Structure 1
Amino acid sequence: MTPISKVFYASEPTLDLAEFRRVLVESGLGETRPVDDEARLKAMLGNANLVLTARLDVEGKPIVGVARGVTDFSWVCYISELTVSVSAQGLGIGKGLMDEARRQLGPSVGISLISVPDAVGFYERIGMKRMTDAFWFSRKR
């Protein structure tokens, strides 16, 4: 990949559904997300109140990363997705998206997420603490 001169991080509450789907697929998270269910993807985006994107070099270029979360902007934010296209992985974009989330949320808001097994090391490297007392009701589909 050509060296990048700048990464643009932005809040994009009206992120295009096709761009969201593309990054999910390109990152590998398409295997664990309903990428072929347009209504569900639309609801995922529409009900998130924190949607951050990363674009390389110039504004307007296709996104290469997305952080999507639900927050009260006061106590906690749950990050539902942190996804970066494979072609842009290793460039610090995932960490940059998390840094941007922390900047926008402020120091009084905690951030939580559930990691796919292959990404656990990434979250530990960026300084997130592993929690042992998490609980889950599985979805039916």
Structure 2
Amino acid sequence: MSTTITYKVNQPIDAQQLTNVFASSGINRPVQDFTRIQKMLNHGNLLVTAWDDEKLIGVARCLTDFSYCCYVSDLAVCKEYQQKGIGKALLAQVKKAATNQAAIILLSAPNAVEYYPHIGFEHVDVAFRIPRSN
């Protein structure tokens, strides 16, 4: 593990790299469906990545208008790099890229609900969803 983690905005990655991070991080994503993962990459418009030398170790994949809201669809850090501030740094880069005009919004995985208030997120009880069919 390198002592210096670098962060990049909109650095192209492929479905295999994203799948590797998802699988390592423990996040629940369709890692067996590369076509779907590639669509996820193709249609997000803000991608912040964390790198240990040439190894992708973290991602924040977002959809944003850069003026009102920024939805963080995926925040994942490889298990061996967790609890080192990388997720927080990814979100700081998201906030910088999305501008101060955009609210940062995300849906938390149940096991991460306690994490987000510690890094500046406000808990809100006004979200709604229509679940995926598959």
TM-score under structure 1 length normalisation: 0.91
Does 2:35 align with 1:39? yes
Tell me which residue corresponds to 2:23: 25
What are the Cα deviations for residues 8-40 of structure 1, in whole angstroms up to 9, with x where unaligned? 0101352121110000000001xx211111111
State the SS of the aligned residue for 1:121.
coil
- Which residue of 64, 81, 87 corresponds with 2:57? 64
What residue is the counterpart of 2:88 in the other structure? 95
Name the CA distance, whole Å, in 2 between partners of 1:13 and 1:131.
31
Aligned to 1:113: 106
Q: Secondary structure at the match of 1:26?
A: helix
Counterpart code for 1:111? I
| Contact 1:64/1:88, CA 8 A, preserved across alignment | yes
Structure 1: runs of 5+ lacking an equivalent: none
Aligned to 1:77: 70
Q: Identical aligned pairs, as a percentage?
A: 35
CA separation in 1, counterparts of 2:82 and 2:93? 17
Contact map agreement 2:16 2:34 (CA 8 A) in 1: no
Query: Given residue 50 of structure 2, which amino acid in structure 1 is its aligned partner?
Result: A
Asked whether the equivalents of residues 21 and 58 of structure 2 are also in contact (C-alpha less than 8 Å), the reply is yes
Partner of residue 6, structure 2: 8
Deviation at residue 99 of structure 1 after TM alignment: 0.3
Displacement of 1:122 after TM fit?
A: 1.2
1:136 matched to 2:129: yes
Q: Distance in 2 between matches of 1:14 and 1:71?
A: 17
